Amino acid sequence: MSENNNDIKKPELTDDELIERSFQELLDSYLATKHRKKVDIITKAFNFANRAHKGVKRRSGEPYIMHPLEVAKIVCTEIGLGSTSICSALLHDVVEDTDYTTEDIENLFGPKIAQIVDGLTKISGGIFGDKASAQAENFKKLLLTMSDDIRVILIKIADRLHNMRTLGSLLPNKQYKIAGETLYIYAPLANRLGLNKIKTELENLSFKYEHPEEYQQIEEKLKATQAAREETFKSFTAPIYQELDKMKIKYRIQARVKSTYSIWNKIQTKRVPFEEIYDILAVRIIFEPENPEEELNDCFSIYVALSKIYRAHPDRLRDWMSHPKANGYQALHVTLMGSDGQWIEVQIRSERMNDVAEQGFAAHWKYKEGGGGEDEGELDRWLKTIKEILDDPQPDAIDFLDTIKLNLFASEIFVFTPKGELRTMPQNSTALDFAFSLHTDIGSHCIGAKVNHKLVPLSYKLQSGDQIEILTSKSQRVQLSWEVFATTARARAKISSILRKEQKLVQKKGEKTLNKFLKKEEIHPEGAPLEKLWKVHRMKSNEEFLAAIGNQKVVLGENDKNLLKDKQSSNWKKLLKFSFGGNKEEEEEEAVKPEEQEEKINPKKIYKLTDDSIQKKYIFAECCNPIPGDDVLGYVGDDQRITIHKRQCPIAVRLKSSYGNRIIATKWDTHKKLNFLVYIHIRGIDSIGILAEVIQVISQQLNVNIRKVNLETNDGIFEGRLQLYVHDVSDVKKICDKLRKVHNVKSVTRED
């Protein structure tokens, strides 16, 4: 808290005054909603939580109760839930952080609030081992509790949103961990539950903490282009206002500006500069239908009115009304050509559709008679899929997380069964995914499919509108290769489950064969050095060795008998040294060299990447090829070696979410001494001497060393890849800027 300027202007509030004011804001927000006014129970929950957290402070220095109060406000105003959820939000940390129990909560506030608080408490627990991912374990618990009451996950998302809003008070390595898992888990979950506004804020906040400079650059460019956007919006909507006024409907028009994270994501994936992103502005028309039953017709009437003014893009009409998205989203999207030659997307939706778009499944309850009740349809189907996956959990929590993640952010396509039944599938689904979506038996015995009456392989990618018939055979078995082209969580989970069961059967068969062999040779299994035996056969584990015996890839014979009966350890050492170049004891001694154990890694420290330490201490990840100037972090491996990744690298995103306790903060402190290899992608119009000009700019004007140049031309367009040695990101920027000025060069971007 400030001790100078603010004190002069007005006295600071005491903690109690601050808490009381925040609680009053919560009550005012609640009273402004359409929910039944159960102020008494909310006041009771607040007083109970306030007493329970008395005297405890957050890292930021504010009273701890401010966090549950802010979470309750998000639950009330931004998600639109009622008193039960508000009370649960106020009480969500009581059982975990104080001596009160779930039974105490039930006695005071009833079974429903106790059940939700219990669900939230279970999520906060977890396995915090070095190998196991606490976050993945928590996520598994979170999904289990979802099936009891969806409000658990909604409150958890609100909790994460407030933590992200106050992330500035944490250490950098904690910021990277929390921001990473937010992007990896919570933003997709918020999206899947239709909480678009919250999803956008979670993404933006994660981006802000992980890439502060790039975030600032995009914010500044958005401010610089704001006046031009406002002018475009004004001129584009002027004739729309006139046309809609004639229709005598109650409506409002909003400008929707693409979020900073979405812009940055597009810059990364499409490899285009900010100036070449043309869909930053979209227009939203929100209307109030006179008759709720006519809202679909009203949407199309508005669309007809718009098409009288502007030309619509023939391939960009999206009807999310007749077939809502899996998260409940409904709207009619149309892309129109403005008078300045720019395509602008217009989203047409009713007030009800807008509520659903902003508040997701929580908004459905608002429109149900009597309020409350569970939403049906897609959400139920999604929860059912999750339940099936949870019934057969993966051995590795991270694999489980990746399996679920496949379906969280997927866009939908609509396909049909042979009888014409409509089914929603994630984008990029294959015929195999569709087979497993019908039934596990159909999936595990499918041999192919007919799409629109034509035979296709199981790897065929489905398109919207396809009609699919699955062909099966009783003799067909699940193949290992299926894991490659199965894309949905359900199919991937079922395939790996079946393969694991088959593997266990083969292992049992191998175990029987091994025991039979030991018995025949009169060798006691307890005393037999079996570990050394499977190592000699170059197997990674006992399970792999048993499976190999079961599959008859390994046949036990005379050599194995001699090895097992030979009890002289020196012979074992010789044998293992011959097979592997050293024994375990020697390997361990080799691994712990004094110079490699100079410094114990401190996760709270920010490690400087100096010219000297880069060459000695760190490994640079080949998946993203970081160079000085990139936003980076360190990952501490099992061997205590630190690997440097770009913060947005997909592998790093997974590590932040899965092994957050191993992430360390790093920053560059280099002085243009070392060279780093970068890849530059260049594209343009082919012309005589273009290659010579490109090389002249790089080697003579910029004095940059070239490792390799590969240029190809096709139909008057040239495209190529340059491998160059640079010192840092500023060198890359200089090269790209200079190459863009070369005549006929149209795009220059750095590749990972």
Pairwise CA distance, residues 726 & 628, whole Å:
10
Q: What is the mean pLDDT of the chain?
A: 80
Tell me if 326 sits within 8 A of 382, measured CB to CB: yes
Query: Does residue 526 register a pLDDT over 60?
Result: no
Pairwise CA distance, residues 306 & 624, whole Å:
46
Q: From 389, 488, 494, 390, select the one nearest 445 (Cα to Cα).
A: 494
- pLDDT by residue (tens digit) across 464-477? 778 899 988 888 88
Q: From 362, 365, 239, 251, select the one nearest 299 (Cα to Cα).
A: 251
State how beta strands 311-312 and 332-337 pair: antiparallel
- When mean pLDDT is compared across 203-212, 529-538, 553-562, 627-636, the lowest value belongs to 529-538
Tell me if 121 sits within 8 A of 105, measured CB to CB: no
Give whichever of 204-218, 373-387, 454-468 has the largest mean pLDDT: 204-218
Query: Does residue 335 register a pLDDT over 60?
Result: yes
Tell me if 722 sits within 8 A of 716, measured CB to CB: no
DSSP state of 195: -
Joined together, the tokens standing for residue 526 give 């307890």
Residue of higher predicted confidence among 406 and 552: 552
Query: Does residue 633 register a pLDDT over 80?
Result: yes
Residue of higher predicted confidence among 542 and 661: 661
- In this prediction the pTM is 0.73
Average the pLDDT over 665-687 and give the result. 88
Average the pLDDT over 487-508 and give the result. 83
- When mean pLDDT is compared across 116-125, 168-177, 603-612, 694-703, the lowest value belongs to 116-125
Pairwise CA distance, residues 482 & 491, whole Å:
9
- pLDDT by residue (tens digit) across 360-405? 766 765 555 344 433 345 566 666 666 666 666 555 556 666 666 6
Residue of higher predicted confidence among 212 and 402: 212
Average the pLDDT over 592-612 and give the result. 69
What SS3 class is residue 296? helix
Residue of higher predicted confidence among 140 and 547: 547
Pairwise CA distance, residues 70 & 491, whole Å:
40
20, 97, 219, 399: the catalytic one is 97
Q: Give Cβ neighbours of residue 382 (< 8 Å, ≥ 6 apart).
A: 192, 326, 407
Query: Does residue 568 register a pLDDT over 60?
Result: no
* Share above pLDDT 70 across residues of the chain, in percent, rounded to a whole number: 80
15, 96, 104, 469: the catalytic one is 96
Give whichever of 112-126, 204-218, 563-577 has the largest mean pLDDT: 204-218
Longest dimension (CA), the chain: 99
Pairwise CA distance, residues 187 & 196, whole Å:
9
pLDDT (0 to 100) of residue 10 = 52
Tell me if 490 sits within 8 A of 389, measured CB to CB: yes
Given the structure tokens 């890694």, which residue do they identify?
A: 601
pLDDT (0 to 100) of residue 572 = 39
Q: Tell me if residue 220 is catalytic.
A: no
Average the pLDDT over 252-272 and give the result. 90
Give whichever of 61-65, 199-203, 484-488, 497-501 has the largest mean pLDDT: 199-203
Query: Does residue 451 register a pLDDT over 80?
Result: yes
Give whichever of 97-101, 550-554, 663-667 has the largest mean pLDDT: 663-667
Tell me if 19 sits within 8 A of 63, measured CB to CB: yes
pLDDT (0 to 100) of residue 263 = 93
Residue of higher predicted confidence among 527 and 744: 744
Average the pLDDT over 285-311 and give the result. 90
Q: Residue 218: what residue type? A: I
Which contacts qualify for 96-103: CB closer than 8 Å, 24 or more apart? Answer: 96/121, 96/124, 96/125, 97/52, 97/53, 97/56, 97/64, 98/52, 98/53, 100/52
pLDDT band at 204 (very low <50, low <70, confident <90, very high): very high
State how beta strands 412-416 and 422-426 pair: antiparallel
Pairwise CA distance, residues 235 & 232, whole Å:
5
pLDDT (0 to 100) of residue 140 = 67
Query: Does residue 412 register a pLDDT over 90?
Result: no
Q: Tell me if residue 502 is catalytic.
A: no
pLDDT (0 to 100) of residue 160 = 92
pLDDT (0 to 100) of residue 579 = 39
pLDDT band at 497 (very low <50, low <70, confident <90, very high): confident
State how beta strands 468-472 and 606-610 pair: unpaired
Count of alpha carbons within 13 angstroms of residue 205, beta-carbon side: 22
- pLDDT by residue (tens digit) across 13-29? 788 888 899 999 988 88
Q: E-strand spans in 100-249?
A: none
Average the pLDDT over 573-577 and give the result. 42
Q: From 432, 416, 412, 188, select the one nearest 320 (Cα to Cα).
A: 412
Q: Which residues of 127-139 are buried (b: 16+ CB within 10 A; e: fewer)?
A: eeeeebbbbbbbb
Query: Does residue 247 register a pLDDT over 80?
Result: yes
Residue of higher predicted confidence among 34 and 392: 34
Average the pLDDT over 402-423 and give the result. 73
State how beta strands 606-610 and 663-669 pair: parallel
Q: From 477, 410, 416, 415, select the one nearest 446 (Cα to Cα).
A: 477
Q: 530, exposed or middle or buried, with CB in 10 Å at 0-12, 13-18, 19+?
A: middle
Residue of higher predicted confidence among 49 and 655: 49
pLDDT band at 58 (very low <50, low <70, confident <90, very high): confident
State how beta strands 642-646 and 618-620 pair: parallel
Tell me if 747 sits within 8 A of 682, measured CB to CB: yes
pLDDT band at 344 (very low <50, low <70, confident <90, very high): very high
pLDDT (0 to 100) of residue 509 = 83
Helices marked H in 310-461: 351-359, 361-366, 378-391, 397-408, 431-438, 440-444
Joined together, the tokens standing for residue 252 give 């409002």
Tell me if 444 sits within 8 A of 473, measured CB to CB: no
Q: What is the DSSP string of 450-482?
A: EETTEEE-TTPBP-TT-BEEEEE-TT----TTH
Helices marked H in 597-639: 611-616
For CA atoms 78, 81, 83, 85, the dihedral sign is negative
Cα 447 off chain centre by: 33
Tell me if 413 sits within 8 A of 431, measured CB to CB: no
Query: Does residue 586 register a pLDDT over 50?
Result: no
